[in-house]
Structure 1
Amino acid sequence: MARKKDVNSLAENRKARHDYFIEEAIEAGLVLVGTEVKSIREGRANLKDCYAEVRNGEIFIRGMHISPYEQGNIFNVDPLRDRKLLLHKQEIGRLAGLVSREGLTLVPLKLYLKGGRVKVALGICKGKKNYDKRDSLLEKAHKRDVERELKNRNRY
């Protein structure tokens, strides 16, 4: 079955769903320059191997790669620079407490457009062990087999 692409989705971190248990997801704004927004709209962003960290009461995304805009000139910036997230002070405090105490990680799950602005879905995640990953792959395979059988049964 083909995966439906969300209309407003610009980039997705599918590896995060394989490597982490996602406890909660929150929406945050992203501080970008103009050429980065144009490049993201063309689908040239990569969320693989990036994470968010709390520094001095602010949250930054590290390791998110946004390719330089082709028609950009001197306004292009470093593709791997740290980008600030826009959240309320109370939310930042709560996330900082969760990350420091409970061993959770902040992982960007998806970039999307909302009202013409680029937003990021930030997941509060707990790492999976290798046996957890194998279990989730087995469960996914069983589910796929059951759906295939139901589809074949309905055909005749």
Structure 2
Amino acid sequence: MAKRKPKKTPDNQLAQNRKARHDYTVTETIEAGLVLTGTEIKSMRERRITLQDGFAQIRSGEAWLMNVHISEYAQGNQFNHDPLRNRKLLLHKKEIKRLGLATQDKGVTLIPLKVYLKHGFAKVLIGVAHGKREYDKRESLKRREQDRQIARVMKHY
């Protein structure tokens, strides 16, 4: 049996929220910087970050990334960070206002889609998302499978 090659991720991508596009319909994305401590960025460079249950909130004119788990750095000793602490997002004031207005609608939330390095700085891609219902999820899976079948058939012609 042939060995399956692992999926390649870009070197700068540290983490990706794969369930996000399954559970939500993402209408808009925005790139934001992260305020991190020294041990957090070292741990992130080792790809020890989980975006699974994460979300973003706008509180008192500031954007915050909540419930994102960055594991403690192995050599961090007493200077280690709290893995689940809230982290500030770096955005322009206009962007924060626009995101705040977008999340006032019912069923709209801000979710982290992926975390990556850009010119040595940690960035997070935030998505403005609407929650999908169960039948919407099934419909998207059906549509994706049909697209794959069409691509297979077209490949032979």
Moved >6 Å (runs of 4+): none
- CA RMSD in angstroms comes to 1.7
Identify the match of residue 16 of structure 2 among 9, 12, 16.
12
* Equivalent residue letter for 1:19: D
Name the residue aligned to 1:23: 27
Change in CA separation of 1:104 and 1:112 when aligned onto 2, cut-off 3 Å:
same
- Counterpart check, 1:61 vs 2:61: no
Structure 1 residue 74 corresponds to structure 2 residue 74: no
Output the TM-score relative to the length of structure 2. Answer: 0.91
Aligned to 1:38: 42
Distance of 1:7 and 1:78 partners within structure 2: 26
Q: Secondary structure at the match of 2:9?
A: coil
The count of residues paired between Structure 1 and Structure 2 equals: 153
Aligned-residue identity in percent: 54
Aligned equivalents of 1:93 and 1:130: distance in 2? 31
| Residue 121 (structure 1) aligns with | 125
In structure 2, C-alpha distance between the alignment counterparts of 1:65 and 1:57, rounded to whole Å: 24
Which structure has greater helix proportion?
1
Q: 1:4 to 1:150 in 2, by over 3 A?
A: farther
Report the CA distance between 1:149 and its aligned residue.
3.5
Distance 1:130 1:76, change over 3 A: same
Q: Name the stretch that deviates more: 67-76 or 140-149.
A: 140-149
Q: Is the partner of 1:94 in helix, strand or coil?
A: helix
Within the alignment, does 1:144 sit opposite 2:135 as a pair? no
- Counterpart-to-counterpart distance in 2, 1:107 and 1:127: 11
2:57 alignment partner, SS class: strand
Shift in Å at residue 5 of structure 1?
Answer: 1.5
**TM-score of the two chains, using structure 1 as the length reference:** 0.91
In 1, Cα distance between the equivalents of 2:139 and 2:87?
Answer: 35
- CA shift, 1:68, in A, is 0.4
**How far apart are residue 61 of structure 1 and its match?**
0.9
Amino acid at match of 1:35: T
Q: Distance between the aligned counterparts of 1:3 and 1:128, measured in 2?
A: 27
Looking at structure 2, the residues matched to 61 and 110 of structure 1 have their Cα atoms a distance apart, in angstroms, of: 12
Offset of 1:4 from its aligned partner?
Answer: 4.0
Partner SS state of residue 76, structure 2: coil
